[in-house]
Amino acid sequence: MGDDITISTCEGKRRPQFLYRAIHSQYAGHGLEARGMNAVQPDALDFQIHLENHLDWPNRNLSPFLSVTSDLNKAVRLCRMFKAQHRTDVQLLMVDTQKPGWEHNTQRLWDLKELVRTFGLEWKPYYSDEYLIEQSIPWESLLFRMDWDEKAEANYEDYETFRIRWPRQR
């Protein structure tokens, strides 16, 4: 047996309030559910395997995780990448982790940089500001869902200006 490893979820002040997610039409559950929702349950024995599979983008195995970021600019770059790949229904989501609906025993939030460090995985720059949500994002926490189209692209100047203009509806 190897050494015991302790991993902690993001709670209290370590839990970012706002998170962003770029999605397209091929994402499960309108972008709010993991590909392996209810089919894959990470436990102490296979957590690292699920983590490594999730981080391997070409791997399309079922994953219990959804990737989100605390960096709006990163989410916008992903929307742009999806558009360049001719994906359909590209959208930008904003989630409030303080809103009701979170089941903290099944919708746990993990800081990716802490997981990479804890498991001794290779660091990649695009892991910065990334978090993993287990299973799903509660609908109640979705602040808005914006189609990433020409109008959104034209109105995106930088984080502060965009945030002020951001639509308040879902």
- We report the CATH number of the domain holding residue 155 as 3.90.210.10
pLDDT tens, 67-84? 999 999 899 999 999 999
166: which 2 tokens? Answer: 């951001």
How far apart are the C-alpha atoms of 41 and 52, rounded to whole Å? 15
How far apart are the C-alpha atoms of 47 and 41, rounded to whole Å? 9
Residue 5 in any domain: the answer is no
Q: What is the DSSP letter of 137?
A: -
Residue 7 in any domain: the answer is no
| Total length of the chain | 170
Residue 170 in any domain: the answer is no
Residue 168 in any domain: the answer is no
The pLDDT-based confidence of 57 (bands split at 50, 70, 90) is: confident
Question: Does the structure show a pLDDT above 70 at 93?
Answer: yes
Domain boundaries, position 116: 16-162
94: which 2 tokens? Answer: 């904003």
Higher pLDDT, 153 or 167: 153
Residue 144 in any domain: the answer is yes
Query: What pLDDT, on a 0 to 100 scale, did the predictor assign at position 88?
Result: 94
Element (H, E) at 150: helix 150-155
Residue 11 in any domain: the answer is no
Q: How far is CA 159 from CA 70, 83, 155, 170, in A?
A: 12, 20, 11, 19
Residue 41 in any domain: the answer is yes
Establish how many alpha carbons lie within 13 A of residue 93's alpha carbon, considering only the half-sphere containing its beta carbon.
24
Residue 117 in any domain: the answer is yes
Number of domains in the chain: 1
Question: Does the structure show a pLDDT above 90 at 90?
Answer: yes
